[in-house]
C-alpha cells in the first residue's frame, strides 16, 4: 500500500552529486498486534553533500523517529524498522552495533533538542569532547584535548581553555548547544542530523546557532538534515523541505517553491496559521482540530478530517506521493485535491484531480 | 442566568470554532483511577499477586472449618521423645506436628488469619498516622512542616526493628495488639515522609497555582487538589510495606515479643518456636517461612504493578 | 475595594462591556484597570546545611512601572530568564512581592492578604503555558469549572449546568466535555478548558503566560483567535506574556519589552514594530526567523554576542550594555537608563525607551560595533563567582 514508485524522481537529478544519505521507504512500527502504531510510514529522501534537507512537521508526525532510526538510536526492543537507509552506499539499518557506533561520531553525527540531557553532567566538557576525538581519530590524549579546544573555539565558545574544565551545568543553554555541536563536529562528520536544535533556546541564541550551522555546512560540505516544527527556521536554512504528516511525507519542494506556492492543504494551512512579525494584525486562519482527529492512512488521507479542501475521494482512497505536474521532478505531493497553484514560470497550475499524471 | 454570548449575534466565526477544536467522543470521561484499574486487570503480574493474596485471605476466613484438626490440641504429644522432639509426617498429619504435638498443617492454615490481621492492621495504622502527619507537614508547610519533619527524622534515625522491640517491650504483657501497635508506629514516618514529599511537589505544580489564582480557599486546595494527587505513591508503598509488616511481625514473635498465647497460632510465632530445632528439624521452620515469603511476594507483586499502573508516564 | 458590589449573578459580564467606547480606544488614560508602580520581586538564594543563610538574590523583577487600560491587550515580550513570568504571577499576588504597588481598580493588591485578597482574585485570572499541568488530572471539566464559581459564591441552585455549557460553548467545546478528564483532550482542547476555567468567575483581567507556546503550530492560531474573540465579546483586558514576538504583535495593542527584570521599551504594537528604538528590541526582532525564504535571504540580522547575564548578578548601569552593539564608553556601564519619551521624527510620545543613546542610534550617528563575548555562568551569584558542582538550585528555578 505504500508502494513507492521504483524510479524515485528524487534519484533522477543528474545535475546533483550522488546522495550521501539515501532513505528508502523507511517504516518504524512501535508495539505489536492490536496496539501497533506506525510512527514512520514509508519515508524516502536523499541528502547530498553540502545540502540541507528539512523534515518539518508537528509533534507526532514521525520526524524525530525517522532520525533516530537512521542513527540506530531507537531502543532495541519494542519496535520494528523496515525499508533502507544507505550512507555512501552502505546500509545503516542492518549494520551491527559496533560498526554503527564506529560510524556515529566519525561519519554521522546528531545534535538534540535538549543540550543538558545530552551531555554527561559529571564529566568536564573538555573531557567529553576530547573522548570523542580520541576514540574516532585515534590520537593521543594531549592531541585530542588540543583539538577539542580548537573545536570549542570554532563554534564560538569564548575562553575555550577555561571552558574545557567546566561541567555542563556551568554553561548557559546556548553554550551547551554550542558544545554539543562541537562534539558532533569534532570528527568532521559528513552527515549531521539536527533534531530541533534550537527549540529549547531563546530567539537571539537561536539566531546565533542557526548562523553557525549555516556557516558549517557552507564551509565543510557537510550534509545536514534539519528536523524542526518551525517553518521560519526552514525558510532560512533548508535547500529542500519535506513536510511530514502522520508519519508520511505529504509534500516535498525546494524552499522557495514551497513557501511561495504551497500545494498540500496542510502546508498551506500551516503557513496561513502562523502570525507574521511584519504583517498587520488580523484574524488568523487556523488548521481545525488536532492530530488526534486523524484517520489511518489505510482508509484515505490522514489529514482529511482537518482539511478544508477534502473531497469524497480523500476518505476512500490513500493518496500516493507523486511528482506534481508542471512543477518539475523535484516537487512531490501526496494529495487528491491540492491547493490551486498560482501561475509560475514552470507552467500554469493544474486543476484538481491529478493524482496520476 | 449569566450570559457569556449574546445568543442572537454570535458570529459565524464562533460557530466555526466549535468544530475547530477537534472531535471529542461522546463517551463518559475515564478518570485516572479507572484507567489504572483497567490496566491492572490485564496485568499478569498484578493477577498473580492478587490470586496469591485472595487465596490466603480465603484460607484465613475459612481455616477454622476446614482445618483437619484443632490447632491447639496436643494430639501427637505422646510421640514426642527426647531424641525426636518433633513428630514427623504420618497418616492424618501430612506435615507432622510441632514440638507440642499439634498438627502443623492446621496451625499453618489457622495461622494465616492472625498473620494477615497483624500485617493489615499494622499497615493501616501506619498509613493513617502517616497520612495525618504528612498532610499537616505538606499541607500547612512552614513551621508545621519543620516540626513534623524533625519528629519524623528522629523516628527514622532509630533502626525500625530496634524501635519495635523497645515499643513491644514497654508493654507489660505482650499481645498481638502490642505487635500491631509497634509495627504501625515504626511505619508512620515512612508514610509521612513519602506523602509530604509528593505534597510538596504538588504545592509547586501549575494546577495548584491555578486553584490559588482562582481564589479557592486553602483547605479545599489541600484536600481536593494536593492530597488526591499525592496518595498514589503512598498507596503503592502501603502494599509493599504490608509485606514488610508481616516479616516484622514474624521477627517480633520470633524474639518472643509477640503474642504469647500459642493456642492462637501465627506464622512468626511458629517460626520463633522452631528455633531450637533448626539443626535437627529445619522443616519446622521452613513451613511458616515459606508461607510468609509467599504472602509477602503476593503483596509485593500487587504493589509493583499498582505503581506502574498509577504512573502517569506509563499511560498511553 | 472598588469592584462591583451587586449580586454577581446579575452581572452579565464585567462592567467594562457597558462602556460605550468599548474600552479599546488607546489613549483613554483615565480608564486604567491595572497600574504597577516600582514592582520588585527578589528571590533569596539560600545556602547552608542546618541554618539557611542568604547568599544573594535573584533580581527576577527589578523595578517595573506600567499601566494597562481597560479592554486593551498588553503584550510583554522577553527571553527566558528576563522575569516576565514572575512579573505576571506577582501581579496576581502568586509570588511575594519585595517592593512596589499593584493597583487594580485603585486597590493596592500587594497590601492585601488572606480573605480580602482571595475575594479580589475573582477579577483577575490566569491562563497557563502548560495546559495539561495546569489542570488537576483527577478532576472532571465540570469540577474544574465549578470550583472557582463555588469559591466566590457564583453558583446557586440549578443554573450551574447551563452556565457550564455556556462557558464551554464560549471556548468552542461540546457539552460532552463536562464529564471528561484533562488527559482525554488534545493540547488545544485542554488550553480551551483552561481558558473556560479562567472565564468561569467573570474576571476583568486575564494574565496569559505563554498561552500558545506549548501547542502545535497549526493549533496555536485557534487559541489566538479564541482569545481575540473572547476579548471582543466580554470586554476583557489581557496581559499577554510571551517570547514569540509574532504572536505578541498579532494580538497586542501595546507591547513592553523586558530584559533582565526591567522594561527596556514600551510602545503601541504597530509603532514598536515599525521603528524599534532600543538596541535589544532591534536585535530581538531581527532574530525571529520569518517563514518566507525571500525575507530570510535578504534581511540583516543583528546577532547578539553571548548570553543573558545571570539575574542573580546583573550588570551595572544599563543591563544590556554587556551585549549591546551600540554600547558607548560613557554612561552605559554606570548609569541605569529610565524609560523616557524621545524626540525623534515619527516616534509618538507613547513610545518610551530606556536607552541613553536612542536618538543617536535612530539617526545613524552611532553605528554598531563588535562586542567581545563576556562569560556568563548560570550558577554564579553576586557574592560567589565560582560555584562548584553543587550550585544553588534556586537560581535555576527562579525563572
Residues C316-330 have pLDDT tens digits of 899 999 889 998 888
pLDDT at C96 over 70: yes
Surface of C (300-319) touching A: CB under 8 A = 301, 303-304, 306-308
A110 and A198 assigned to the same domain:
yes
In this prediction, residue C16 carries a pLDDT of 40
Surface of C (141-200) touching A: CB under 8 A = 186-189
Residue C216 to residues A229, C174, C191, C361, Cα–Cα distance (Å): 8, 21, 12, 38
In this prediction, residue A17 carries a pLDDT of 62
| Cβ(A41)–Cβ(A62) below 8 Å | yes
Q: Is the pTM of this model over 0.90?
A: no
In this prediction, residue A101 carries a pLDDT of 85
In this prediction, residue C382 carries a pLDDT of 43
Q: A226 falls in which pLDDT band (50, 70, 90)? A: very high
In this prediction, residue A302 carries a pLDDT of 92
C-alpha dihedral sign at B179, B181, B184, B186:
negative
| Residue B264, phi then psi, degrees to nearest 5 | -105, 95
| Cβ(A276)–Cβ(C224) below 8 Å | no
pLDDT at A108 over 60: yes
pLDDT tens track for B242-263? 878 887 887 887 777 777 777 7
| Cβ(A82)–Cβ(A25) below 8 Å | yes
pLDDT tens track for C22-72? 434 444 456 899 999 999 999 988 876 666 778 888 899 999 999 999 999
A293 contact residues in B (CB cutoff 8 A): 22-23
For chain A, helix (H) and strand (E) counts, in that order, are 11, 12
In this prediction, residue C110 carries a pLDDT of 87
| DSSP string computed for B223-239 | IIIIHHHHHHHHHHHHH
Q: Which one is predicted more confidently, B211 or A6? A: B211
Q: C227 falls in which pLDDT band (50, 70, 90)? A: very high
Residues in Cβ contact with C194 at an 8 Å cutoff, skipping those fewer than 6 apart: B210, C127, C128, C131, C134, C135
E strands, C189-317, are 205-209, 237-242, 254-259, 262-268
pLDDT at C216 over 70: yes
| Cβ(A243)–Cβ(A264) below 8 Å | yes
pLDDT at A337 over 60: yes
A187 and A299 assigned to the same domain:
no
pLDDT at C397 over 60: no
C-alpha angle B57/B59/B61, rounded to 5°? 70
pLDDT tens track for A160-207? 888 888 888 888 777 888 888 888 888 888 999 999 888 878 888 888
pLDDT at A346 over 60: no
| Cβ(B107)–Cβ(B265) below 8 Å | yes
Cα–Cα distance between C146 and C155 in angstroms, integer?
A: 8
Rg, Å, chain A Cα set: 21
Cα–Cα distance between A190 and A207 in angstroms, integer?
A: 23
| Cβ(C80)–Cβ(C96) below 8 Å | no
pLDDT tens track for B123-144? 999 999 999 999 999 988 888 8
In this prediction, residue C378 carries a pLDDT of 55
Q: C386 falls in which pLDDT band (50, 70, 90)? A: very low
Evaluate whether residue A163 is within a structural domain. Answer: yes
Cα–Cα distance between B269 and C254 in angstroms, integer?
A: 78
A229 and A269 assigned to the same domain:
no
CA-based nearest residue to B21, from C222, C265, A97, A63 = C222
Q: What number of C-beta contacts closer than 8 Å exist between A and C?
A: 169
pLDDT at B194 over 90: yes
Evaluate whether residue A348 is within a structural domain. Answer: no
In this prediction, residue C374 carries a pLDDT of 64
B22 contact residues in C (CB cutoff 8 A): 186, 188-189
Q: Retrieve residue A143's grid coordinates.
A: 592531541
C-alpha dihedral sign at A205, A208, A211, A213:
negative
In this prediction, residue A99 carries a pLDDT of 86
Determine whether the interchain pair C136/B225 forms a contact, defined as Cβ–Cβ distance below 8 Å. yes
A47 and A113 assigned to the same domain:
yes
A190 and A131 assigned to the same domain:
yes
| Cβ(C100)–Cβ(C301) below 8 Å | no
Q: Percentage of residues in chain C with pLDDT exceeding 90?
A: 44
pLDDT at B9 over 70: no
SS3 state at A307: coil
In this prediction, residue B191 carries a pLDDT of 93
Q: Retrieve residue B14's grid coordinates.
A: 464562533
| Cβ(A233)–Cβ(A307) below 8 Å | no
In this prediction, residue A112 carries a pLDDT of 85
Alpha helices by DSSP H, A80-124:
97-106, 115-118
A192 and A306 assigned to the same domain:
no
Q: Lowest-confidence range among A160-164, C230-234, C391-395?
A: C391-395
Q: Retrieve residue A155's grid coordinates.
A: 563554534
A188 and A271 assigned to the same domain:
no
Check: complex ipTM more than 0.95: no
pLDDT at C380 over 60: no
Residue A41 to residues A1, A35, A87, B3, Cα–Cα distance (Å): 10, 16, 20, 48
CA-based nearest residue to A185, from A160, A161, A215, A140 = A215
Q: Percentage of residues in chain B with pLDDT exceeding 90?
A: 22
A41 and A144 assigned to the same domain:
yes
| Cβ(A203)–Cβ(C243) below 8 Å | yes
A98 and A197 assigned to the same domain:
yes
Cα–Cα distance between C376 and C388 in angstroms, integer?
A: 15
Alpha helices by DSSP H, chain A:
63-71, 97-106, 115-118, 125-137, 141-154, 160-163, 173-185, 203-220, 231-237, 255-260, 265-273
Evaluate whether residue A349 is within a structural domain. Answer: no
Q: Average pLDDT, whole number, for chain C?
A: 83
| Cβ(A55)–Cβ(A66) below 8 Å | yes
| Cβ(A10)–Cβ(A46) below 8 Å | yes
Evaluate whether residue A149 is within a structural domain. Answer: yes
Number of domains in chain A: 2
pLDDT at A352 over 50: no
pLDDT at C179 over 80: yes
Give residue C209's region: left, alpha or beta (phi > 0; psi -120 to 50). beta
Q: Percentage of residues in chain A with pLDDT exceeding 70?
A: 91
- Indicate which of C243, C281, C292 best probes the interface with A, i.e. most A CBs within 10 Å of its own CB: C292
pLDDT at A347 over 70: no
pLDDT at B105 over 70: yes
In this prediction, residue A192 carries a pLDDT of 92
Within 10 Å of residue A295's Cβ, how many Cβ atoms?
A: 16
CA-based nearest residue to A211, from A151, A156, A254 = A156
Q: Average pLDDT, whole number, for chain B?
A: 82
In this prediction, residue B212 carries a pLDDT of 92
In this prediction, residue C102 carries a pLDDT of 93
CA C131 to chain CA mean position, Å: 17
Task: For chain B, list the domains and their CATH numbers.
Answer: 37-67+106-314 (1.10.3720.10)
Which secondary-structure segment (H or E) carries C150? helix C141-151
Determine whether the interchain pair A293/B21 forms a contact, defined as Cβ–Cβ distance below 8 Å. no
Cα–Cα distance between C16 and C237 in angstroms, integer?
A: 9
Evaluate whether residue A223 is within a structural domain. Answer: yes
Q: Which one is predicted more confidently, B212 or A97? A: B212
CA closest to B316 among chain A residues: A35
Angle between helices A265-273 and C217-234 (to 10 degrees): 50
β-partners of residue C242 are C77
Rg, Å, chain B Cα set: 26
Within 10 Å of residue A22's Cβ, how many Cβ atoms?
A: 20
B214 contact residues in C (CB cutoff 8 A): 121, 125, 147-148, 151, 197, 200-201
Q: What is the CATH number of the domain that holds A75?
A: 3.40.50.300
Determine whether the interchain pair B32/C12 forms a contact, defined as Cβ–Cβ distance below 8 Å. no
A241 and A304 assigned to the same domain:
no
CA-based nearest residue to B120, from B57, B61, B48 = B57
Evaluate whether residue A343 is within a structural domain. Answer: no
| Residue B241, phi then psi, degrees to nearest 5 | -70, -30
Q: C256 falls in which pLDDT band (50, 70, 90)? A: very high
Q: Lowest-confidence range among A249-263, A301-315, C16-30, C279-293?
A: C16-30
Asked if C1 has any chain A CB less than 8 Å from its own CB, the reply is no
| DSSP string computed for A4-31 | --SS-GGGG-TTSPPPSEEEEEEEEEES
- What is the mean pLDDT of the segment spanning A292-309? 89
Evaluate whether residue A310 is within a structural domain. Answer: yes
pLDDT tens track for C104-131? 998 999 888 888 999 999 999 999 999 8
Cα–Cα distance between B85 and C333 in angstroms, integer?
A: 94
| Cβ(C271)–Cβ(C349) below 8 Å | no
In this prediction, residue B157 carries a pLDDT of 87
Determine whether the interchain pair C221/A287 forms a contact, defined as Cβ–Cβ distance below 8 Å. yes
| Cβ(A177)–Cβ(A116) below 8 Å | no
**Residue-range definition of the domain harbouring residue A38:** 13-245
pLDDT at A241 over 80: yes
A158 and A289 assigned to the same domain:
no
A67 and A185 assigned to the same domain:
yes
- Indicate which of B210, B221, B235, B315 best probes the interface with C, i.e. most C CBs within 10 Å of its own CB: B210
Evaluate whether residue A4 is within a structural domain. Answer: no
Closest in A169, A260, A276 to C246, CB measured: A276
pLDDT tens track for B12-38? 443 344 467 777 777 777 888 888 888
Amino acid at each position: 500500500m505504500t508502494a513507492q514508485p521504483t524510479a524515485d524522481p528524487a534519484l533522477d537529478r543528474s545535475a546533483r552529486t550522488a546522495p550521501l544519505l539515501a532513505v528508502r521507504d523507511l517504516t518504524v512500527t512501535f508495539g505489536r498486534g492490536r496496539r501497533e502504531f506506525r510512527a514512520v510510514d514509508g519515508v524516502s529522501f536523499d541528502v547530498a553533500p553540502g545540502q540541507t534537507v528539512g523534515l518539518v512537521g508537528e509533534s507526532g508526525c514521525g520526524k524525530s523517529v525517522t532520525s533516530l532510526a537512521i542513527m540506530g538510536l531507537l531502543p532495541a526492543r519494542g519496535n520494528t524498522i523496515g525499508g533502507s537507509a544507505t550512507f555512501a552506499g552502505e546500509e545503516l539499518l542492518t549494520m551491527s552495533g559496533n560498526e554503527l557506533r564506529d560510524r556515529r561520531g566519525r561519519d554521522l553525527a546528531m545534535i538534540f533538542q535538549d543540550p543538558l540531557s545530552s551531555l554527561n553532567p559529571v564529566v568536564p566538557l573538555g573531557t567529553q569532547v576530547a573522548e570523542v576525538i580520541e576514540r574516532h581519530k585515534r590520537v593521543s590524549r594531549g592531541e585530542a584535548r588540543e583539538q577539542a579546544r580548537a573545536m570549542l573555539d570554532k563554534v564560538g565558545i569564548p575562553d575555550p581553555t577555561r571552558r574545557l574544565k567546566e561541567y555542563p551545568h556551568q554553561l548557559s543553554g546556548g553554550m551547551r548547544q554550542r558544545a554539543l555541536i562541537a562534539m558532533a563536529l569534532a570528527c568532521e562528520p559528513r552527515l549531521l542530523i539536527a533534531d530541533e536544535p534550537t527549540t529549547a533556546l531563546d530567539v537571539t541564541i537561536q539566531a546565533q546557532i542557526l548562523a553557525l550551522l549555516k556557516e558549517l555546512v557552507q564551509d565543510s560540505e557537510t550534509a545536514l538534515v534539519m528536523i524542526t516544527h518551525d517553518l521560519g527556521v526552514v525558510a532560512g536554512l533548508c535547500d529542500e523541505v519535506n513536510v511530514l504528516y502522520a508519519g508520511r511525507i505529504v509534500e516535498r519542494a525546494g524552499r522557495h517553491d514551497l513557501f511561495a506556492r504551497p500545494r498540500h492543504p496542510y502546508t498551506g494551512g500551516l503557513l496561513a496559521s502562523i502570525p507574521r512579525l511584519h504583517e498587520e494584525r488580523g484574524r488568523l486562519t487556523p488548521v481545525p482540530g488536532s492530530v488526534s482527529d486523524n484517520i489511518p492512512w489505510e482508509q484515505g488521507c490522514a489529514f482529511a478530517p482537518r482539511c478544508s479542501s477534502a473531497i469524497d475521494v480523500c476518505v476512500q482512497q490513500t493518496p500516493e506521493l507523486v511528482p506534481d505536474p508542471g512543477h518539475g521532478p523535484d516537487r512531490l505531493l501526496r494529495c487528491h485535491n491540492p491547493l490551486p497553484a498560482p501561475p509560475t514560470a514552470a507552467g500554469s497550475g493544474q486543476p484538481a484531480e491529478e493524482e496520476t499524471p | 442566568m449569566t450570559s457569556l454570548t449574546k445568543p442572537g449575534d454570535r458570529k459565524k466565526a464562533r460557530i466555526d470554532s466549535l468544530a475547530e477544536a477537534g472531535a471529542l467522543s461522546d463517551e463518559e470521561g475515564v478518570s485516572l483511577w479507572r484507567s489504572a484499574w483497567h490496566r491492572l486487570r490485564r496485568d499478569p503480574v498484578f493477577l498473580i499477586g492478587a490470586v496469591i493474596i485472595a487465596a490466603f485471605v480465603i484460607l484465613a476466613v475459612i481455616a477454622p472449618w476446614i482445618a483437619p484438626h484443632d490447632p491447639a490440641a496436643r494430639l501427637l504429644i505422646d510421640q514426642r521423645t527426647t531424641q525426636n522432639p518433633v513428630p514427623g509426617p504420618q497418616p492424618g498429619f501430612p506435615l507432622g506436628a510441632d514440638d507440642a504435638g499439634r498438627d502443623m498443617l492446621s496451625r499453618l492454615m489457622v495461622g494465616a488469619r492472625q498473620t494477615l490481621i497483624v500485617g493489615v492492621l499494622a499497615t493501616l495504622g501506619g498509613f493513617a498516622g502517616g497520612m495525618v502527619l504528612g498532610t499537616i507537614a505538606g499541607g500547612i508547610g512552614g513551621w508545621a512542616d519543620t516540626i513534623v519533619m524533625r519528629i519524623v527524622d528522629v523516628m527514622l534515625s532509630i533502626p525500625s526493628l530496634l524501635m519495635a522491640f523497645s515499643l513491644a517491650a514497654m508493654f507489660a504483657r505482650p499481645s498481638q495488639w502490642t505487635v500491631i501497635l509497634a509495627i504501625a508506629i515504626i511505619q508512620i514516618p515512612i508514610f509521612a515522609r513519602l506523602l509530604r514529599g509528593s505534597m510538596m511537589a504538588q504545592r509547586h505544580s501549575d494546577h495548584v497555582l491555578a486553584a490559588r489564582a482562582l481564589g479557592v480557599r486553602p483547605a479545599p486546595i489541600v484536600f481536593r487538589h494536593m492530597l488526591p494527587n499525592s496518595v498514589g505513591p503512598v498507596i503503592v508503598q502501603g502494599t509493599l510495606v504490608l509485606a514488610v509488616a508481616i516479616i516484622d511481625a514474624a521477627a517480633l514473635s520470633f524474639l518472643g515479643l509477640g503474642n504469647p498465647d500459642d493456642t492462637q497460632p501465627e506464622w512468626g510465632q511458629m517460626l520463633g518456636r522452631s528455633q531450637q530445632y533448626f539443626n535437627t528439624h529445619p522443616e519446622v521452620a521452613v513451613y511458616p517461612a515459606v508461607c510468609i515469603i509467599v504472602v509477602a511476594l503476593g503483596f509485593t507483586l500487587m504493589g509493583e504493578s499498582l505503581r506502574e499502573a498509577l504512573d502517569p508516564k506509563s499511560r498511553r | 475595594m472598588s469592584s462591583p458590589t451587586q449580586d454577581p449573578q446579575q452581572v452579565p459580564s464585567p462592567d467594562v462591556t457597558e462602556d460605550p467606547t468599548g474600552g479599546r480606544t488607546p489613549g483613554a488614560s483615565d480608564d486604567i484597570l491595572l497600574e504597577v508602580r516600582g514592582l520588585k520581586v527578589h528571590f533569596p538564594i539560600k545556602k547552608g546545611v542546618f541554618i539557611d543563610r542568604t547568599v544573594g538574590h535573584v533580581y527576577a523583577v527589578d523595578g517595573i512601572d506600567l499601566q494597562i487600560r481597560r479592554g486593551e491587550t498588553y503584550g510583554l515580550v522577553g527571553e527566558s530568564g528576563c522575569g516576565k513570568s514572575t512579573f505576571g504571577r506577582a501581579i496576581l499576588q502568586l509570588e511575594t512581592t519585595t517592593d512596589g504597588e499593584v493597583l487594580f481598580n485603585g486597590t493596592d493588591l500587594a497590601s492585601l492578604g488572606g480573605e480580602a485578597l482571595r475575594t479580589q482574585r475573582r477579577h483577575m485570572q490566569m491562563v497557563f503555558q502548560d495546559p495539561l499541568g495546569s489542570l488537576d488530572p483527577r478532576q472532571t471539566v465540570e469540577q474544574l469549572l465549578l470550583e472557582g464559581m463555588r469559591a466566590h459564591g457564583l453558583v446557586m441552585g440549578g443554573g450551574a449546568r447551563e452556565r457550564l455549557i455556556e462557558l464551554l460553548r464560549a471556548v468552542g467545546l461540546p457539552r460532552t466535555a463536562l464529564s471528561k478528564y484533562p488527559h482525554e483532550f488534545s493540547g488545544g482542547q485542554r488550553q480551551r478548558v483552561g481558558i473556560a476555567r479562567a472565564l468561569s468567575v467573570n474576571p476583568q483581567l486575564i494574565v496569559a503566560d505563554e498561552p500558545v507556546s506549548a501547542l502545535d503550530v497549526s493549533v496555536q492560531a485557534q487559541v489566538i483567535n479564541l482569545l481575540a474573540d473572547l476579548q471582543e465579546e466580554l470586554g476583557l483586558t489581557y496581559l499577554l506574556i510571551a517570547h514569540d514576538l509574532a504572536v505578541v504583535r498579532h494580538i497586542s495593542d501595546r507591547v513592553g519589552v523586558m530584559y533582565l527584570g526591567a522594561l527596556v521599551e514600551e510602545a503601541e504594537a504597530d509603532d514598536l514594530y515599525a521603528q524599534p528604538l532600543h538596541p535589544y528590541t532591534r536585535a530581538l526582532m531581527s532574530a525571529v526567523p520569518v517563514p518566507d525564504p525571500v525575507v530570510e535571504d535578504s534581511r540583516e540580522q543583528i546577532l547578539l554576542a553571548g548570553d543573558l547575564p545571570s539575574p542573580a548578578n546583573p550588570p551595572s548601569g544599563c543591563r544590556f550594555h554587556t551585549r549591546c552593539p551600540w554600547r558607548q564608553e560613557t554612561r552605559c556601564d554606570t548609569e541605569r537608563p529610565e524609560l523616557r519619551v524621545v524626540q525623534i521624527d515619527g516616534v509618538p510620545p507613547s513610545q518610551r525607551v530606556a536607552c541613553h543613546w536612542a536618538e543617536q542610534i535612530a539617526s545613524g550617528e552611532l553605528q554598531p560595533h563588535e562586542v567581545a563575548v563576556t562569560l556568563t555562568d548560570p550558577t554564579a551569584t553576586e557574592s560567589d563567582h565560582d560555584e562548584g558542582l553543587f550550585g544553588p538550585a534556586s537560581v535555576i528555578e527562579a525563572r
